[in-house]
Structure 1
């Protein structure tokens, strides 16, 4: 049941994108708020149905106890799990920070270069420094995993 609801949600999302593309291509005018409300409400109802179905009907993909016990990898402790969690958080949060920084610095750099094109090299340095945040997060992840 859950799979059917997920397929229906994907169909709603794809149908919305296709309809929106065709409407923009044909120059159709309308209320964007109404279109978003319709799509979000239909998608929300389908997802609500999936949640209710999961809670009341059990998980379709549930394993038996013997299969779950056989799938457990021996030798992985709680500390190992925290190590992987810390590595993923350091990379993920650094990447989010990089996106925010490059968006801000990049838009400012474009505005500054449009006024004075001789400062292009200086603005590229600032954008590169903002991108360095992601590299630092990746280096910390490597250190967490292998040291």
Structure 2
């Protein structure tokens, strides 16, 4: 956990430097940011390819024969579950943002519609729960 905690100040410093660079030299700053984004994207794609093509790890030689007989969860099923949860959560975030702001605007004019407005916001949040259920089904069948 400590290495992840140490990256937070580095990320903040990189963000501040990027904003300062974009304020002073916009053309050079955008080119540099696009180049850094491309390098990060290529690195992420390499990690995904390595994760999908890796063999399952074994605890020792005595367990090697046991791991060949059992079928484990596939890496692609885990990626599909992660995409289902991430996509539904992002969709729910947009839905709650729009319905929540509309509900607050309506409640500022008529406070008695609080209950109906919260039902609409709750239905928008249900999208994330559907994604979680789909992810559980995909992991269970893998």
TM-score (norm. length: structure 2): 0.57
Deviation at 1:37, TM superposition (A): 4.6
**Does 2:31 match 1:41?**
yes
Task: Give 2:55's match in structure 1, choosing from 49, 72, 75.
Answer: 72
The count of aligned residue pairs is: 110
Structure 1 residue matching 2:74: 3-state secondary structure: helix
Contact 1:90 1:138 in 2 (8 A): yes
Contact 1:90 1:140 in 2 (8 A): yes
Gaps of 5+ in 2: 1-10, 47-52, 57-66
Structure 2 residue matching 1:104: 3-state secondary structure: helix
Gaps of 5+ in 1: 1-9, 21-31, 60-68
Distance 1:136 1:85 in 2: 17
**Does 2:96 match 1:102?**
yes
Alignment of 1:1-147 (within 5 A): 12-17=14-19, 19=20, 37=27, 39-45=29-35, 72-73=55-56, 80-147=74-141
Structure 2 residue matching 1:107: 3-state secondary structure: helix
CA-to-aligned-CA distance 1:28-55 (integer Å, 9 cap, x gap): xxxx98765553234235567x58xx9x
Distance 1:141 1:117 in 2: 38
Task: Note the aligned Cα RMSD (angstroms).
Answer: 3.8
- Compare CA radii of gyration and give the structure with the larger one: 1
Structure 1 residue matching 2:115: 3-state secondary structure: helix
